[in-house]
């Protein structure tokens, strides 16, 4: 089993929530980094700030499926839109623990920053459907 931090369209109530069906929710969390608006979804990138999301426990099979959903090509970072990396939870029930997350792996020049790091709040603010 794997603990996975999600911060975008995989969250409950958003467009890809069905991909997390039957995953065990461990709680809300914040991790280091910043968010950018990639279009129909956000991207987490390195930087000063904190990103808001939730941590779930997922099986090997679910993680492999999510790698596909996130356009991650195992073993080929250059061919991947997102790359799965370990991050440390800064706040929340799992504070101090290492979890997986998907980091945006393409250039961010020209992308709109999401300064507060909360994708749900952002889509409400800009009036976007997820």
- What is the secondary structure of 42-81 as a DSSP string? EEEEEEEEEEEEEEEEE-HHHHHHHHHHTT--TT-GGG-S
> Per-residue pLDDT for 58 more than 80?
yes
The residues that are catalytic are 70
- What is the secondary structure of 65-123 as a DSSP string? HHHHHTT--TT-GGG-SEEEEEEE--EETTTT-EEEEEEE-S--TTPEEETT--HHHHH
Contact 98, 86 (CB under 8 A): yes
Please state the pTM of the whole predicted model. Answer: 0.93
> Per-residue pLDDT for 92 more than 70?
yes
Burial label for 55, CB within 10 Å (0-12, 13-18, 19+), is: buried
Distances (CA, A) of 15 to 9, 12, 18: 5, 8, 8
Going along the chain from its start, the domains and CATH numbers come out as 2-126 (3.10.490.10)
Chain segment 26-52, per-residue pLDDT in tens: 999 999 999 999 988 999 999 999 999
Quick count: other Cβ atoms within 10 Å of Cβ 52?
A: 21
Chain segment 6-30, per-residue pLDDT in tens: 999 999 999 999 999 889 999 999 9
> Per-residue pLDDT for 130 more than 70?
no
Quick count: other Cβ atoms within 10 Å of Cβ 112?
A: 14
Q: 53 is written with which tokens?
A: 């999301």
Contacting residues for 18 by C-beta, under 8 A, at least 6 apart: none
């Amino acid at each position: 089993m794997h603990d996975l931090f999600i911060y975008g369209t995989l969250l409950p109530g958003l467009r890809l929530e069905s991909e997390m069906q039957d995953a065990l929710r461990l709680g809300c969390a914040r991790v280091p980094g910043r968010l950018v608006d990639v279009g129909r979804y956000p991207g987490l990138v390195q930087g000063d700030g904190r990103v808001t999301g939730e941590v779930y426990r997922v099986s090997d099979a679910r993680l492999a499926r999510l790698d596909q959903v996130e356009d991650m090509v195992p073993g080929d970072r250059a061919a991947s839109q997102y790359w799965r990396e370990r991050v440390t939870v800064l706040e929340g029930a799992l504070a101090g623990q290492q979890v997986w997350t998907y980091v945006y792996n393409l250039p961010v020049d020209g992308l709109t920053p999401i300064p507060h790091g909360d994708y749900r709040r952002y889509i409400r603010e800009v009036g976007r459907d997820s």
